Amino acid sequence: MAAALTLLLIGSLLQGSQSKDFKAVLPQTIEVPTGSCVTIPCSFKIEDKHKSNLDDTCGAKWFRDGTLVFNSKDPQTPSNNGELTGNLRKKDCTTTLNNIQPAKFKWTFSPDDPPRPTLTPSALKVEEGASVSLRCSAPAPCLSHPPNVTWTKGLGDIVETLQENEDRSKVLTSNVTFTASHKHHGETISCKASYHKQNGSAESAVSLTADVSYSPKVTTLLVCSSGPVPEGSNVSLTCSSTANPAVKNYTWYRDDGANETFIGTGHVLTIKASREVSPLLCKAHNDVGVGRSNITHIDVHGLYHAPNR
Q: How far apart are CA 283 and CA 255, in angstroms?
A: 12
By three-state DSSP, how is residue 103 classified?
helix
Q: How far apart are CA 19 and CA 101, in angstroms?
A: 29
Please give the single-letter amino acid code of residue 188: T
pLDDT tens-digit profile, the chain (309 residues) = 333 455 555 543 333 333 456 777 877 777 777 777 888 888 888 877 777 777 777 888 887 777 777 888 876 666 667 888 888 888 888 888 887 776 554 433 334 467 889 999 999 999 999 999 999 999 888 888 889 999 999 999 999 999 988 878 889 999 999 999 999 999 999 999 998 877 777 889 999 999 999 999 999 999 887 678 888 888 899 999 999 999 999 999 999 878 899 999 999 999 888 877 778 999 999 999 999 999 988 888 865 444 555
The residue count of the chain comes to: 309
Q: Omega before 41 cis (within 30°)?
A: no
pLDDT attached to residue 105: 44
Determine if residue 183 is left, alpha or beta; phi over 0 gives left, psi from -120 to 50 gives alpha, anything else beta.
alpha
Q: What domains lie within the chain, and their CATH numbers?
A: 2-104 (2.60.40.10), 118-213 (2.60.40.10), 224-301 (2.60.40.10)
Q: What are phi and psi of 212, to 5 degrees?
A: -110, 120
pTM of the complete model = 0.67
pLDDT attached to residue 59: 81
Residue 265: which residues within 8 A CB-CB, separation 6 or more?
249, 250, 251, 252
Q: Which of 72, 67, 127 is nearest to 101 (CA)?
A: 67
